[in-house]
Amino acid sequence: MVPVEADVQPAVAAAVPGCEERGMPQDMDSQLTALLRRLPDWMRRDIAAIDPARRERAEEALHAMLLALIQGTAGSVSGQDG
């Protein structure tokens, strides 16, 4: 069985222009993987929902989680509190 992480990096590189050249810091990659693994079931369902209101609510919640992850990591790298 192939680990999920083996499929993630090529998918990100294909979706985000320039990502492959810049690379993703290993710490950020690990934190992102952990965040995605612990997504609540309601969020997983609602992201795939046909109802636009449910999908938007889940997208906004995921956006907030990703922003907190990025800001927290950037703050720890720059020496600022996240």
The DSSP annotation for 26-49 comes to HHHHHHHHHHHHT--HHHHHHHT-
| Alpha carbons 58 and 70: distance in angstroms, whole number | 18
Per-residue pLDDT tens over the stretch 17-32: 455 555 666 788 888 8
Per-residue pLDDT tens over the stretch 2-60: 444 455 455 555 544 455 555 666 788 888 899 999 999 999 999 999 999 999 999 99
pTM over 0.85: no
Contact predicate 82/71, CB 8 Å: yes
Q: What residue spans define the domains of the chain?
A: 24-78
